Structure 1
């Protein structure tokens, strides 16, 4: 094949193919229907209906979690119009500019058009176009050679949601016994702190429906910006506001959500935990807590040994009601007021004391609530105000609204304050404040991650595709984000989507590690940031493309959606399922995978019962690809039965005694704290978050969005003036980890001392470097013992900025 030299720019900056006699596309040959460039496909379809026209339906975004059901008009084989699916109830029909923009995005110049093989050094972006047979063989040969030489776990496989996840389920990890990289470190810091007190998965399970927001009297958004990150939720926001809910946004910057809230609380970066601890102190001092709830549904009455901190209780066998599995769990004692003795918390007729100290069996025992009062004696409102830079009276007002103006939601997003090393402390503090007030388990209240706004009516009746028992992924050696810094056995990697620069910080270290691999292949739709480092590049379809009439079933917030083919695969792209089948066939394992998307969809519906009883492919096709869950009129709510050992909220974490975090003890961020000596050289806190134009890096390939919202850093007028920076200037952002150049936007919404950027974008859109070159890769050691492992502290980063 002829050599293709690929530079890192837009289509107009691409090199031409030296061989094969064809024009260059975004990263390969133009191969479909006579296309010579992707740009040719951006010509608008005719406004009037000529030629062949049809309509297809699918469920949209994975990242914003709005799950909008779309109606797509296809004219002359080309996507021409995207609207909400009008088979839904009118109040459920939604779309945003990201969905409308898919017409441009699908046909973007950055599409990978053909399989490619590297011909230059890793990182240079020099490739030659090859056939699918050559590409698949190269991938399979590399895996076979590595596993024969170093063992099964020398092959790393990861499938990120940047890939077209509607088109496959990541079977290769199990089929080839791959290393999968364990916990991903993204958006799980607060969850580490919350789930220990409410049960694993609680940060998701405590979601309430968007439909319940208008039932709340108070809604506090903690570093959560739904009016940008999940635009389709805007209606619920304003419905709640119109219904009389007081909406408060706590955020470092004056976000769009803050601008539409009743109150904006501007908090210093990385200090949200101090603010919530201050709320806890105010609620205790003022007596605003719910004693009845605390006694019946929390661990606050449980007794602990003052000397050791251990919960005073006995081990006993407990049988799981669902599985019948028996396990050993500790049953705590409480002090029974009626008998004046210590009794097991769940004994019949126990009336537990909420506060007090007693001598039992030579031990001094104290209730958890009394212990909390003692532990939080230093955490005055004045302390919380000093640490967070929030007026103590404002913190007290927040506590008053949350405790007394209920029911109340405390909503956090998977960004913002989650991206600091102390995020687990924040999550733990949220357990404390919820357990004090009882703002959970009833309509119009709850605490947790509001991904999609709750209302998860998805059903366990959908059947997964099971592989034979012998096919299982290898036990993970370590999280992927630790691999650049620790010895490991990974020699060959295959990722579907750009895991290496989207799921890790400190990109220079990560990409140096990738360069050292024996082989790396990537399957992606677009020219993402890791593509230039790959040995083989495989072109994937977008969710709008398929070579079959149906794709997959997805939860769509009150509905189940069956995706339909909109257009044929563009260029030489293939669906994820087809690519996995081609690779698996090199071992003869394709026999274990679904032969088609329709077979997979029918299998998933094969035992339809409960809230999907009677659902069939034919019924979906007759109703524009969507069917409403049978229980959709009753939103899924929080429950007063928690997935903990006691079935209660447990604010005291016995396992964290050794780390000094049995109760959440405030600690500064790793890097972005006031007295850090590094501030002499790098005085600015560098933060990132979602925007209305992108979700993570997705939509980076949209030329429309790049034109108006390329890589730009927001800087306060105070910091800009001090450095002679004006809007539109090229600026360089630097720290010890790396540097990059982008465009400055002077913005009054930004606190002095901080910078803000939308979460990344593909590296070739930057004049030099890219955002992840400077981000922090520090690991919070105690989090290795938590459910989700250490979070990646992207925002826990100090930098300096200057004109480039």
Structure 2
């Protein structure tokens, strides 16, 4: 941007498309003209003045690739793959190679700005950092005085996996503000934590375990595009003789590099896995030894409530437990009971060798059965015939898939987030976990769950960021944010949202029902966004705070599936007037009167993240990370860390919990049970919940006969990297894929301008014909911003519908109609 006082948010939609093939224009930024003129040539040569810095690609693509950053004369001129402590994870994709362009993007936010024409006007004025901090903090104080501390909301997601931004969560606690919970891909992550727990590497095996698989089912996972860093492990398994099966509604490059493609009706995966589970039990392929030792299968459940039978139910005295670690007082355990097949009586779980899995019992007037017997009863209706009719997969195919997985293992389900995006998606994950439990395919390298469920839990604790007895406001699901603002309450709790602060989070681009979300932001007094570049959310901010680029600050990589912590060195000085998140958070804290709470230097702040048991046991410190650049979290050199090894799971019972005794909402928002009560009985076993909108029995299909869904884009990570000019040369504008029959019925040819629409909104973009789609399905590559569509936006069509048991964005549960646009 120029130094003028009033500027516009950026290119128009048409203007962006016309200029998309050009190299990023830097001529308007003082001092960068020479770098631009020799840009391509400089990438191919190495001068004696070059410096190499170490860093990471920190967007949430489940990659976490290491980078070598080449700097010449103070400018980032090239990024390439960096080496990691475990060489199996040495990978990089085109996005990782594009950081030189991304760093100098014309969409960078260069200085603090205030929107003077109202949210969405694109009329900005430049302000100083002092003005920005003073205006924000003075208004926050006013709002909290008038409407309570909870009226200021802090909202983040996984746009940046690092620890610098953790300072904002600390500020929220100090202020007593409210926060938001991520409802993007929330169904899968939530239910997996309940069923198999969240360990050091998330809820699944660490990438690399697939190399030991003999059978891999890829479910809702376009891994070739979405999970490039771990795709090679699947191909290595295939080369070694494993059979890869892609179960998906859309035939993609992933399908073409698997041994078998199984086209399934969208949103019906739970029906497939329930039927395969029943078939394995009927065929005698259930691994009863695994079920007894490692799962909740032998636990007794009451017929009347579905709750576990405990000692107190049968009149037994609770067992003495370990003393309370704080008070030293004696504790007791009301242990769960199983049925002893030898004595014919109840016994405490894990005290006998051979608890009964089958049977109906009664004791003290309580009718009970083992969980496994309950599962068998529950699966009674799930014949191959029924699943075939629902999923449109031949019965013999379902039978062979079940046999292959149960008998030819070790077997892995490689999960994506595709099944998460339908009503009841959490039940699909539970159905898959049930299938894995019954077949005993869990706990070894080569068996279990992999893919997006695997996420390194490297969220280092920093004791300095703890606020004792913090009295914060409620947690609001992002999918519920608009309704909470409209109602002025979160369930029974009054809540007047006066301000919201977004960081690491492009809310408008990622939430469903975009137009409703925009109206929500327009109704909020003060919207503040701290970000690197302009995007869909910044358009509706009142004040923008420029965050420096990833190469412009010292940071620590946090999260992702790779079991390695990595350093981000500061390669160049922060561009323009940008600051790192730590510095911005401290400025805001000082403005709110908490300056004494943020008195650390940046190095002291980062060093405190090593003050935890894991780092202490490994003798890891910030200084050591600065020296070695990358540190493995576990000693194995090959990256094989199976979840649930030795039958131990980080769950409430320590077992694989395919049965959920007392269900609570996965993303728990206190106070939001007003009209949203959860029926425990419906959530205890895995079930098939038909999609809400795209289900074939919905009469709305007559009006809107096509399903509207997305796929990963090779050149974006969610909504990041949209502004890289190299990628725009290859993929210059958004498209919508249609099946040839659907296109022909509408007179649409490849390259035509088309309009997709429903009652919620529309988008205008170009058509692409793809025979890999099931008839009735349309697909758009995700990640485009509003300025890049001819008109409208893909997120205008999606629905914010959700269900009491799972607050989640159901992106794929969307119907639309498509028509050809007349040329101007």
> TM-score, normalization: structure 1?
0.89
Among residues 592, 599, 602, which one is paired with 1:597 in the alignment? 602
Aligned partner (choices 477, 481, 493) of residue 483 of structure 1? 481
Matches within 5 A, 1:628-643: 628-629=632-633, 631-633=635-637, 635-639=640-644, 640-643=647-650
Match of 1:691 among 713, 730, 744: 713
Aligned partner of 2:566 in structure 1 is: 561
Q: Find the counterpart in structure 1 of residue 701 from structure 2.
A: 679
Asked if 2 retains the 8 angstrom alpha-carbon contact of 1:57 and 1:85, the reply is yes
Cα 1:495–1:317 shift into 2, 3 Å: farther
Alignment partners' CA distance in 2, 1:293 and 1:428:
18
For residues 54 and 280 of structure 1, what CA distance do their matches in structure 2 show?
57
592 and 400 in structure 1: CA distance in 2 versus 1, 3 angstrom threshold? same
Contact preservation (8 Å) 1:59, 1:554: no
Residue 373 of structure 1: aligned partner: 376
Note the C-alpha offset of 1:289. Answer: 0.4
The SS at the match of 2:380 is coil
Distance 2:35 2:164 in 1: 22
Q: Shift of the alpha carbon at 1:753?
A: 0.6
Give, in whole Å, the separation in 2 of the partners of 1:313 and 1:389.
43
2:753·2:764 contact (CA, 8 Å) conserved in 1? yes
Q: Report the Cα distance in structure 2 between the residues aligned to 1:393 and 1:706, rounded to whole angstroms.
A: 45
Once the two structures are superposed, what CA deviation does each residue of 1:437-477 show, in whole Å capped at 9, x if it has no partner?
111122221125545x56x485x8x5515246358462315
Output one character per residue of 1:496-553: Cα deviation in whole Å (capped at 9) or x when no partner. Answer: 144431442101111101101111111111111011211111111121113xxx3335
> How far apart in 1 are the matches of 2:333 and 2:804?
26
| Cross-structure match for 2:434 | 432
2:385 maps to 382
User: What aligned pairs does 1:118-267 form with structure 2 within 5 A after superposition?
Assistant: 118-162=115-159, 165=162, 167-169=164-166, 170=168, 171-181=170-180, 183-199=181-197, 201=198, 205-267=202-264
After TM superposition, the structure 1 stretch with the greater mean CA deviation from structure 2, 155-164 or 263-272, is 155-164
Match of 2:413 in 1: 410
CA offset at residue 190 of structure 1? Answer: 2.6
Q: 1:385-417 CA distances to partner (integer Å, 9 max, x unpaired)?
A: 11111112111112112211111111212x211
Report the equivalent of 2:797: 774
CA deviation string 1:293-327 (max 9, x = no partner): 11222222233344554433335467579968988
Give the C-alpha shift of residue 677 in structure 1: 0.6
Distance 1:773 1:457 in 2: 34
Cα deviation for residue 369 of structure 1 reads 2.2
Alignment CA distance shift 1:475-1:329 (3 Å): farther
Match of 2:811 in 1: 794
User: Which of 274, 298, 301 is 1:301 aligned to?
Assistant: 298
Offset at residue 559 of structure 1 (A): 3.0
SS in 2 for 1:299: coil
Q: Which runs of 5+ in 1 are unaligned?
A: 15-24, 784-789
- Superposed displacement of residue 429, structure 1: 0.9
Whole-Å Cα distance in 2 between the matches of residues 627 and 612 of structure 1? 13
Which one of 505, 513, 532 corresponds to residue 520 of structure 2?
513
2:110, 2:575 within 8 Å by CA — same for their partners in 1? yes
Give secondary structure in 1 for the equivalent of 2:376: helix
Give the superposed CA RMSD: 3.1
- Report matched runs for 1:496-507 at 5 Å: 496-507=503-514
Contact persistence 2:248–2:263 (CA under 8 A): yes
Segment of structure 1 superposing worse, 283-292 or 704-713: 704-713
CA shift, 1:350, in A, is 4.9
In structure 2, the CA distance between the partners of 1:471 and 1:643, relative to structure 1 (3 Å rule), is: closer
**Residue 18 of structure 1 aligns with which residue?**
none
> Does structure 2 retain, via aligned residues, the 8 Å contact 1:428–1:664?
yes
The residue that corresponds to 2:343 in the other structure is 339
TM-score when scaled to structure 2?
0.87
In structure 1, what is the Cα distance between the partners aligned to 2:87 and 2:97?
A: 18
1:57 maps to what in 2? 54
- Shift of residue 676, structure 1, vs aligned partner: 0.6
Confirm or deny: 8 A CA contact 2:141 2:592 kept in the other structure: no
The residue matched to 1:399 in structure 2 has which SS? helix
How far residue 706 of structure 1 moved from its aligned partner, in angstroms, is 2.7
The answer to whether the 8 Å contact 2:464/2:608 transfers is: no
Please give the per-residue CA displacement for 1:718-773, whole angstroms capped at 9, x wherever unaligned: 11111111222221111111111122111122111111122232111112121111
CA distance 1:321–1:211, shift in 2 (3 Å): farther
CA spacing shift, 1:211–1:198, aligned 2, 3 Å: closer
The SS at the match of 2:710 is strand
Check 1:233–1:360 CA distance in 2 against 1; reply closer, same or farther (3 A cut): same
Task: Give the 3 Å change call, closer, same or farther, for CA 680–324 of structure 1 in structure 2.
Answer: farther
1:208–1:450 contact (8 Å) kept in structure 2 = no
The 5-angstrom pairing of residues 357-756 of structure 1 reads 357-413=360-416, 415-447=417-449, 449-451=451-453, 456=456, 458=458, 463-467=461-465, 469=467, 472=470, 474-476=472-474, 478-486=476-484, 487-488=487-488, 489-546=496-553, 550-554=554-558, 557-593=562-598, 595-605=600-610, 613-623=618-628, 625-629=629-633, 631-633=635-637, 635-639=640-644, 640-655=647-662, 658-709=680-731, 710-756=733-779
Instruction: Say whether the 8 Å CA contact 1:27–1:112 is kept in structure 2.
Output: no
Q: Distance in 1 between matches of 2:323 and 2:414?
A: 30
**How far 1:266 sits from its partner (Å)?**
1.0
Write the distance in 2 (CA, Å) between the matches of 1:110 and 1:567: 19
Whole-angstrom CA distance in 2 between matches of 1:238 and 1:257: 11
Measure how far apart 1:98 and its partner are.
0.8
8 Å Cα contact 2:270-2:428 kept in structure 1: yes
Which range is displaced more, 76-85 or 311-320? 311-320
CA contact (8 A) 1:283 1:289 kept: yes
Match of 2:130, SS state, is helix
Deviations 1:47-66 (A, max 9, x none): 44457321100121331121
CA distance in 1, matches of 2:634, 2:426: 37
- Sort the Cα spacing of 1:642 and 1:47 in 2 relative to 1 into closer, same or farther, 3 A: closer
